[in-house]
Amino acid sequence: MEYKILGKEDLTPQAIASLSAKDREELCAELRDKILNTVSANGGHLASNLGVVELTVALLSVFDYTKDKIVFDVGHQSYSYKILTGRYDDFDTLRTKGGISGFPRINESEYDAFDTGHSSTSISAALGMARARDLNGDDNYVIAVIGDGALTGGLAYEAINDLGHSKTKMIVILNDNEMSIDRNVGGLSKYLSKLRVSSGYISAKRTTEGFLQKLGIVGRGLIKLILMIKDFFRFLLYRKKPSMFEDLGLNYYGPVDGHNTADLIEALNAVKDIKDPILIHVITKKGMGYAPAENNPSDYHGVGPFDLETGVTKNGKSCYTSAFAGALEEIAEKNPKVVAISAAMTQGTGLEHYSMRFPTRFFDCGIAEEHCVTMAGGLAVSGFVPVVAVYSSFLQRAYDEMITDVCFMNNHVVFALDRAGFVGQDGHTHHGLCDLSYLNSMVNMMIFAPRDYKDLRNCLDHAINKCSGPVAVRYPRGSSPFEADGPLYDDPEDCVKPHLASARGTDFVIISVGRICAEAEKACEMLEKDGLLGKHINLSLVKPVPAADLIGLMGDIRNVFTLEEGILSGGSGESIHTEVDKLSSIYSITSFAVEDPVIKAASPDDQLKTAGIDAVSVAEKIKKSLGNTK
């Protein structure tokens, strides 16, 4: 479609604020069209972004993005904001190499208030900004936009508790796209909801409260009485107790229709100058304006490129996630003590079918990784084998719980770490590059990094049925570079032994960890063309390092190189070096890993190149090292 409003150079904050109701409606339609066309080509977070178009337009009609701070929780819903804050011309580069990020990024735009990507952080960050504003004597507004899903994370309630206690001036927008509005009880209900967010009501409320406060003890008593009467009539009308947010110290307003810009603007204007913390409850629909996303918002939460007309995605390949899901169901069928746990990622971790097949042995705890891990510890001490399926980068949030509630007690909890290594277009906040390092530091922890689907099945079977303490099985996003899916190995010990991938000569040894063995093997082939012949050993068992078996395969080849898709510090290369050196000091071991984990959106292949751990880079480094040695 041809845009009437989007892309205009004069679309300043003042211009947005002065738009007519008709132009705002046109702008929302243009934003949806731009988002749909870009995401269908590049992939991205679709349903959540389509659901907040009107809310974003309303926010930017009331607040000045050049000085006010708007913090989007997670950032899944920031596309409209990006387009309207100077990134229209670059939006087609969304989530591509050198392009703009799918999440708010401070180094991308001065109008992005905070880097986000993980859940439940917005209120804490915004409260810090509000306090900084007050310390500096400034008068800008601070707004946190958080979804109902993110409110399942405990960090959000820690922030709300602090905010309500301190009474710091700021606004929290609760973007509720799951729960429906309370049942309609007639025109009076609608009138009171509208009245509650009207400027006249709020002005009268503030004037009355100010007058009563001046009456001292008597006035404060009257305020309590009025609040009790208000809550009583609210209970009669809605059959519900007062808002828990008010109990926590926030002034609650709403619900407001999140797809009516006029109502949203009226509500925001009415509350923005109140000195106390405000929570506005906004009701939106995920996927709004695109039928496939409206009907199946989970399928269009994070989506790859798809056909805009049909909604069908363009990638039908098998993947590590589906291999994990199939293996877990097969194992759970035979072992009734196996239970699965998700942190609001049932579909993303492949557990949707498991949850239907074993409904009593599946628990989705919401976006609460800390709770998931400690609850798993409770299941483990009670005789069950919990499998916590979680993205690698999200498990970082439960670091303390893993140590104290699982590892110290040597509880048999299996951590299935999806998205280990580079994840591609979601960028550095979602890369699973730190797990090998932090897991290596945990007492009693066993770590597997399977190379392909069969190896993943074997490692998972060993972790569940052969181990008695904490075990992590890390596997990457996407498809295996090797063989197709297959049955469990007959030999249960196969995954705990080093695997000799190739043996060409005695010039060098490469020890690779997990999927990146494909790059190691390519590097060996390249080096062979230059007359350098070596061995390639692949490890599935990363901790404890099978040092004696490694030495048996390496023999007296002194030049050893390790390769992993993780950060260098504390990674598997360092642990291999340490453990091998305890048994023999003849080896010169060099580790190739990620030295700078802040590698932005691109394809995983490009990210490997940027990190210098792709086949070409590895071959060049080894060639240079061997040349120097000779």
Specify whether the CB–CB gap between 33 and 1 falls below 8 A.
yes
Per-residue pLDDT of 31-76, as tens digits, reads: 999 999 999 999 999 999 999 999 999 999 999 999 999 999 998 8
Element (H, E) at 399: helix 399-402
Element (H, E) at 164: helix 154-166
Q: b/e map of 81-99 (b: 16 or more CB within 10 Å)?
A: bbbbbebbeebebbbbeeb
Asked whether residue 223 carries a pLDDT value surpassing 60, the answer given is no
247: confidence class by pLDDT, cuts 50, 70, 90: confident
Q: How far is CA 321 from the centre of its chain?
A: 16
Asked whether residue 236 carries a pLDDT value surpassing 60, the answer given is no
**C-alpha dist (Å) from residue 558 to 534, 549, 555:** 11, 16, 8
Specify whether the CB–CB gap between 510 and 500 falls below 8 A.
no
Residue 294 among the catalytic residues: no
Residue 286 among the catalytic residues: yes
Whole-number Å distance between alpha carbons of 151 and 574 = 39
% of the chain beyond a pLDDT of 70: 87
Asked whether residue 184 carries a pLDDT value surpassing 50, the answer given is no
Whole-number Å distance between alpha carbons of 588 and 581 = 9
Using H for helix, E for strand and C for coil, what is the string for 120-155?
Answer: CCHHHHHHHHHHHHHHHCCCCCEEEEEECCHHHCHH
Collapsing DSSP states into helix, strand and coil, what is residue 499? strand
Q: How far is CA 550 from the centre of its chain?
A: 36
Asked whether residue 374 carries a pLDDT value surpassing 90, the answer given is yes
What pLDDT is stored for residue 354 in this prediction?
Answer: 96
What pLDDT is stored for residue 246 in this prediction?
Answer: 82
Specify whether the CB–CB gap between 471 and 338 falls below 8 A.
no
Q: Which of 369, 370, 401, 565 is catalytic?
A: 369
What pLDDT is stored for residue 202 in this prediction?
Answer: 53
DSSP β-bridge partners for residue 472: 415, 447
What pLDDT is stored for residue 238 in this prediction?
Answer: 42
Whole-number Å distance between alpha carbons of 157 and 322 = 34
What pLDDT is stored for residue 200 in this prediction?
Answer: 53
Tokens of 120: 């439940």
DSSP assignments along 176-234, one per residue:
ESSSPPPPP--HHHHHHHHHHTSHHHHHHHHHHHHHHHTTTHHHHHHHHHHHHHHHHHH
Tokens of 87: 């990134």
Q: Which residue type occupies 479?
A: S
The pTM (predicted TM-score) of the whole model is: 0.84
What pLDDT is stored for residue 477 in this prediction?
Answer: 92
461: confidence class by pLDDT, cuts 50, 70, 90: very high
State the average pLDDT over residues 582-597: 95
What pLDDT is stored for residue 108 in this prediction?
Answer: 93
Sign of CA dihedral 464, 466, 470, 474: negative
Helices 572-583 + 547-554 axis angle, to 10: 80
What pLDDT is stored for residue 231 in this prediction?
Answer: 53
Whole-number Å distance between alpha carbons of 73 and 145 = 6
Residue whose C-alpha is closest to residue 551's, from 515, 517, 577, 524:
577
Tokens of 143: 């707004």
What domains does the chain contain, in order, with CATH numbers? Answer: 13-182+240-291 (3.40.50.970), 320-474 (3.40.50.970), 497-629 (3.40.50.920)
Tokens of 108: 């991308």
Question: Using omega within 30 degrees of 0 as the cis cutoff, is the peptide bond preceding 305 cis?
Answer: no
Residue whose C-alpha is closest to residue 243's, from 196, 177, 188:
196
Specify whether the CB–CB gap between 341 and 333 falls below 8 A.
no
Specify whether the CB–CB gap between 444 and 577 falls below 8 A.
no
Asked whether residue 194 carries a pLDDT value surpassing 70, the answer given is no
Collapsing DSSP states into helix, strand and coil, what is residue 172? strand
Cα radius of gyration (the chain): 28
Residue whose C-alpha is closest to residue 281's, from 172, 207, 198, 375:
172
Q: Which of 286, 419, 454, 600 is catalytic?
A: 286
Per-residue pLDDT of 87-103, as tens digits, reads: 999 999 999 999 999 99
Mean of per-residue pLDDT scores for the chain: 88
**C-alpha dist (Å) from residue 16 to 61, 70, 177, 217:** 5, 16, 25, 47
Whole-number Å distance between alpha carbons of 77 and 71 = 11
Asked whether residue 381 carries a pLDDT value surpassing 50, the answer given is yes
224: confidence class by pLDDT, cuts 50, 70, 90: low
What pLDDT is stored for residue 304 in this prediction?
Answer: 85
Asked whether residue 204 carries a pLDDT value surpassing 60, the answer given is no
Specify whether the CB–CB gap between 70 and 145 falls below 8 A.
yes
Tokens of 582: 């305890």
State the average pLDDT over residues 412-437: 94
Whole-number Å distance between alpha carbons of 384 and 264 = 49
Sign of CA dihedral 312, 315, 320, 322: positive
219: confidence class by pLDDT, cuts 50, 70, 90: low
Specify whether the CB–CB gap between 375 and 353 falls below 8 A.
no
Helices 187-196 + 217-238 axis angle, to 10: 140
DSSP β-bridge partners for residue 339: 386
Do the bridges between strand 302-303 and strand 44-45 make them parallel or antiparallel, or are there none, so unpaired? Answer: antiparallel
Length reported for the chain: 630
Residue 369 among the catalytic residues: yes
Tokens of 526: 């390249």
Specify whether the CB–CB gap between 75 and 48 falls below 8 A.
no
Question: What DSSP designation does 630 have?
Answer: -
192: confidence class by pLDDT, cuts 50, 70, 90: very low
Q: How far is CA 274 from the centre of its chain?
A: 33
Residue whose C-alpha is closest to residue 457's, from 339, 335, 323, 350:
323
